[in-house]
Structure 1
Amino acid sequence: MKTEEVGQAIFETWTVDEVEEAFKAGKIVLIDVRTPQEYMFEHIEGALLMPLAFFKADALPGQSDKQIVFHCGSGARSEKVSRAAIEAGMAHVAHMEGGFGAWKGAKKPYIGTNMANGAPHRVN
């Protein structure tokens, strides 16, 4: 995990392995900031959706029980959202390095679309 101080806030960049471990343990809320179309085509099972275009820091859940970790396709949008969350007053923000592309590249499980019938299916 990489850590950066931004003013009074802490900005963390997590690896896909760190995200997977914390997500499985129920320690984080994973928020996908890609478009609804990207999410519907394939996503990490259990991740919430808050697209960058509709991002509102004041609509985020509190972090008293679980830390929020943002992710997108490559890491660029989630970093942008993370920095916007810091500007909005959040003191502890994290995002997943490399985004969903890195998640898939590391052969982590996700929900994809069966191209033969259009139905969602688990990809391991």
Structure 2
Amino acid sequence: MPMKKGYKALVDEAMAQVKTYSVEQARAKLGDPNVQFVDVRDVRELEREGIVPGAFSAPRGMIEFWVDPDSPYFKPVFGEKKEFIFFCAAGWRSALTTKTVQDMGLENVAHIEGGFGAWKAAGAPVGVKESKGQH
């Protein structure tokens, strides 16, 4: 059965409606106290591939619940007056995430073109995600 609207169409629509930063533009904001990087990748991806230092981990499957102040799962970081820069592995999930939180009313949001893969390839800072068994 063909999809009425496939993932490519959803990603394209999101890309047309959200702010997108190049790795260079995003990297220039790393360490800015008014900016919060948000990693929407799964924890296994973080452990396997690495992390952006200082990024808040918010798995894609929980984002709507973590962003909404009325949710019992709300994370206070999303109530801060900062710019939120979302990223995933390749930029697809983060485009969808950025559009979703923008539609929900979170302001000053963007995502990174090419995601963590492009970030890493550009030689931008990468840290190691400690697994739960390590201290």
Alignment of 1:79-118 (within 5 A): 79-112=95-128
Q: 1:23-50 deviations in whole A, cap 9, x for unaligned?
A: 2233310000000111122111111100
TM-score normalised by length of structure 1 = 0.75
TM-score normalised by length of structure 2 = 0.69
Structure 2: 5+ residue stretches without partners: 1-14, 69-73
Count of residue pairs the alignment pairs up: 108
The AA in structure 1 aligned to 2:90 is S
Moved over 4 A (4+): none
**Structure with greater proportional helix content:** 2
Structure 1: 5+ residue stretches without partners: 114-118, 120-124
* Aligned counterpart for 1:47 among listed residues 51, 55, 64: 55
**Structure with greater proportional strand content:** 1
3-state SS of 2:52 partner:
coil
Structure number with the bigger relative contact order (C-alpha 8 A, sep ≥ 6) is: 2
Taking a change above 3 Å as real, the CA distance of residues 25 and 49 of structure 1, as seen in their structure-2 partners, is: same
Deviates more, 1:77-86 or 1:50-59: 50-59
The AA in structure 2 aligned to 1:50 is A
